[in-house]
Chain A
Amino acid sequence: MNTIDWLVMGGTIFLIVFYGIWKSRGTRDIKGYLLADNSIKWWTIGLSIMATQASAITFLSTPGLGFRTGMKFVQFYFGLPIAMVLIAMIAIPIYRKLNVYTAYEYLESRFDLKTRTLGAILFLLGRSLAAGITIVAPAIILETILGWDVNVLCVIIGGLVMVYTVSGGTKAVSQTQQQQMAIILLGMFVAAVVMVNLLPDSISFWDALALAGASGKLEVITLPETTEFLQAIQAKEAAGESVFWLRVQAFFEDRYNIFSGLIAGTFLALSYFGTDQSQVQRYLGGRSITEIRIGLLFNGIFKVPMQFLILLVGVLLFVFYQFNTPPMFFNERERSLILESEYGMAYQELENTYIYQDSLKKEAWMAWDEAREQLQTAKGPEEVTQAQMVLDQKETIALTLQHSMDSTRDAGIALMKERDQDANTKDHDRIFLTFVLNHLPIGLVGLLMAVIFSAAMSSTAAELNALASTSVIDIYKRIYNSKGSDRHYLRVSRQMTMMWGILAIIFAIIAGQAEDLIEYVNILGSLFYGTILGLFVVAFFFKKIQGTAVFWGAVMAEIMVVLIYFIPIILSTPEKTYKGVGYLWLNLIGCIAVVLFASIIQRIRENQED
């Protein structure tokens, strides 16, 4: 990186940290520290909710997902606006009426202490591990760029966050998230504009979309029918066999489609935004019910378009690399490892083939663009038919070459796996960053690096803040020491924030290198969220179910969810892989399981009492 980039990046980060400390100075009691004295306005709540969800992984992985798989990941967010409306309608009035510090306090007023503690512990378990991943994910990627040790980077990211989160609490977190979100949106917008400008002169924005569409990258709405399943269904139908169970399997296994987004996505969002303290704390400090509701609905209105645009950046990146040779594999570290190994020569040959295929493909797309222009200027039906034929022909050539390049890349990945079974063969986290470093002008590289740091810091800060409030309010104050002074709890809250910060850094260092980081975080959340949501669904809607029934129902549901997720992984062998249920559905399954188990246990207990 250039000196100017370092200055832009360092200056931005310093200003944000300084602003957080300055804005939250004078916090003297626990209400000020954990609820920001109920002073937060709706736009801060809205941006803070967005910034908490959008970690660095989001901004590194999402454009990469757009690049590799197209736009269909946006469906993951379809349940979010529905969840925002439901939370604003049902949960917010209850939380505010009870004047709670954490979501789990409500569980005690509705059920009993053990259910509240169970909810708090499930949250602490899931979120503390996730906080480690939130830190390590950008650290791994920044390691290759800055040349710093990943552990040092984990300490820097975690340490910077701790500086203002420990001193200023919720207010510092929310105020800095506003600035961080502004930097993030500005950075992504600038990157997209530069990307379009770097396309060949003859390729307009609309041409870029047409090319992406021809390559199958612009399918936003999809049904649960992957090519693999469609082929299996066709084969069964041809053999005259029933395809019902195959369709059921496809429904639950395909991760991102309109049904999983709308149904399972709603449950995930309800659980995350309604019961995860790292989100609940962002709005509990709101000035009034009205401000909180508007903040939530602001997120409901803007989140889906924002994710669409971030994915579109990834798709534009795909188009950009149709005219600029991309690396065959974007993870430079894995590439270096294989080049230095006995497989180096074979891999180098594959890279040469890849570059050659790419040069042919570039020409094919340029010819395709010319054919499109001819089609647009064609007059009369005959000329149009002829031009359309030429266009289809050019498109087929370009797509065939793209498939050949994909096959060459797959062969390279197979070599990596042959060298080391545990090699990290997914590189979409690095695609966007490779573009930033190699193609953005001086100054903007620093801005984009600040985006990554900002995103990492905003999510981590919210997580540490929430972990501290849950451990102080739901565990320490409620179970161990309920007679302390306000100043005592403020001091303990600061100590807890620091302790969780140190633990998150340790988790981050242990987590090391994980594949598919954005999914890893979501999977981890889905293992716990369904059960936590189930506790709250029973609390809100099943008035007859009491504490003991819901407690044991939740314990059984959690065991069931963990088994459903891990059994296929344990049973899988190198010869036969079991895919299991798509992780989004775990939220729905966990929630329904809590309701069912709790209802059954309640009925049994009532019968016994009779």
Chain B
Amino acid sequence: MAKEHSNPEAVDENEELRRVFPFFKTWNGLYTFVIGELVVLIILFYLFSEAFA
């Protein structure tokens, strides 16, 4: 976060992102969301497999 604030280009990019998706403050937030979703899906798939095994 601090690093992004020190980089004006990153700040501009984040502002552009917020214009399209206000609920994501930074690109790193959106990247974390995508990877987080994958982790959650894998856990859910595992539980799904176990539930119907």
Contacts and interface: CB of A to CB of B under 8 A. Distances in A.
A220 B50 CA distance: 9
A297 B34 CA distance: 7
B51 interface: yes
A210 B38 contact: no
Contacts of A26: none
A221 B45 CA distance: 7
Secondary structure of the A contact surface, majority rule:
helix
13 contacts: A81-B34, A81-B37, A82-B38, A84-B34, A213-B51, A219-B53, A221-B42, A221-B46, A294-B20, A297-B30, A297-B34, A301-B33, A301-B34
Interface residues of B, number: 23
B49 A220 contact: yes
Nearest to B14: A290
Interface string B17-42: 10111000001001101110110011
Given A290-B17, A294-B21, A221 B38 contact: no
Interface of B: 13, 16-17, 19-21, 27, 30-31, 33-35, 37-38, 41-42, 45-46, 48-49, 51-53
Nearest to B37: A301
Contacts of A84: 34
Given A209-B52, A220-B45, A288 B16 contact: yes
Closest 8 pairs between A and B when the two form their complex, measured CB to CB: A213-B52, A220-B45, A290-B16, A218-B52, A81-B38, A300-B34, A85-B31, A221-B46
A173 interface: no
A304 interface: yes
A118 interface: no
A300 B31 CA distance: 10
A293 B52 CA distance: 37
B49 to A, nearest CB: 5
Interface string A308-340: 100000000000000000000000000000000
Nearest to B53: A213
Contacts of B13: 289-290
Interface string A197-227: 0000000000001101110001111000000
A139 interface: no
Nearest to A74: B45
Contacts of A74: 45
Nearest to B9: A93
A568 interface: no
Q: How large is the interface on A (under 10, 10 to 19, 20 to 34, 35 or more residues)?
A: 20 to 34
A221 B31 contact: no
A214 B34 CA distance: 32
A73 B52 CA distance: 17
A78 interface: yes
A115 B21 CA distance: 39
A519 to B, nearest CB: 22
A293 B27 contact: yes
A328 to B, nearest CB: 27
Given A85-B35, A209-B52, A294-B20, A308 B45 contact: yes
Interface in A280-316: 288-291, 293-294, 297, 300-301, 304-305, 308
A288 B13 CA distance: 10
Contacts of B42: 78, 221, 258
Given A289-B13, A297-B34, A212 B27 contact: no
A88 B20 CA distance: 16
Nearest to A213: B52
Given A78-B42, A212-B52, A42 B20 contact: yes
A89 interface: yes
Interface string A66-98: 000001001000100110110011000000000
Nearest to A305: B41
Contact of A218 (B21, B27, B37, B49): B49
B13 to A, nearest CB: 7
A143 to B, nearest CB: 36
Contacts of A300: 34, 38
A289 B16 CA distance: 9
Interface centre among B30, B38, B46, B53 (most CB of A within 10 A): B38
